[in-house]
Structure 1
Amino acid sequence: MQIKWLPTAITAAVAVVLLLGGWFFYQNVAVERPLDKLVNTVDGVASSVSTVNGQTVAVELKLKPDADMASVVQTIKKQGASVIGNRELKVSFPSDSSEKLDKIWSTLLFPVAESMEKREYSGIARTLEELGKQHPDLKVYSSMDDSNVYIALQDGKASKYIVLPRYPATMGVWNHA
């Protein structure tokens, strides 16, 4: 019995195209498109781009002015649980920053970092409140959930979004217990 190489190669190529095409179709229609529809209906989201990989779901959000970042993320986690499943959700907020906002943020780095290090998150709110008094034309928002601290600085059309990860306090073990 002699194998005919041309029909075998054509059959293998067709099988690969069907398998990969089917996987791409499933990924696009059953996973990414429903997630995009869901994210774009969340209150405060202007537009979004999502990417679903094996272990992560990455969502890049462009927010409307005055949107609560923590609320948006929690809504996506809750309403998108069926699509996200046990994957890790990574949310990013691209900024349309200006030189003025970057300079203001650089003055906040030390007090914010100190508050994060000490896990005194109310210090961030106080620092941002003082910043709002110093710059009345600047809109400053902060919010927090169980895993991140969200900070938004807005000056006219320019905006800067910062997401700072929270690390829960850990219990120490005493060696003399």
Structure 2
Amino acid sequence: MSDTSIPLQINISIARQSLTLTGPDGGVVAEYPVSTGLNGVGEQDGSGRTPQGEHYVRAMIGADQPLGTVFRGRRPTGEIYSDELASNHPERDWILSRILWLCGLESGRNRGAGVDTFRRFIYIHGTPDTEPMGIPMSHGCVRMRNADVIDLFERVEAGTPVIIQ
């Protein structure tokens, strides 16, 4: 980020299935299609829903990893996603390329016992480019195309505000 005194902000629209990065003046810096929770919105642990409200990027994982890097437990596995790898592991929920791990800011809504975005491991992350965007299909995370999540990752930093609505 060029001016850390006035951060960029990530705005995720559930209705539009889009992520908009806005600048200090509120102007659009970039916009990307996304896929949010198949089960809709919600904050409860184990719901598979995308949490709403005010968040921030607590951790950024995967800098300098190749496009398509496979992550498990937020660590690169040494694998690069391919059709062959996917056919050998059809049970995997693919987390690829980069991870922006979110933390809720609203106590009782998306932070704290039973509703904690961070403890639910809610990320903005890459997914196979064969997966549809613009349609809710995730297990609660915000999925993006790999090139898009890398582009976003390079534009923001830990602490960037995230609004999901």
TM-score (norm 1): 0.23
TM-score (norm 2): 0.24
Rg (Cα) greater in structure: 1
Larger relative contact order, structure 1 or 2 (CA cutoff 8 Å, min sep 6): 2
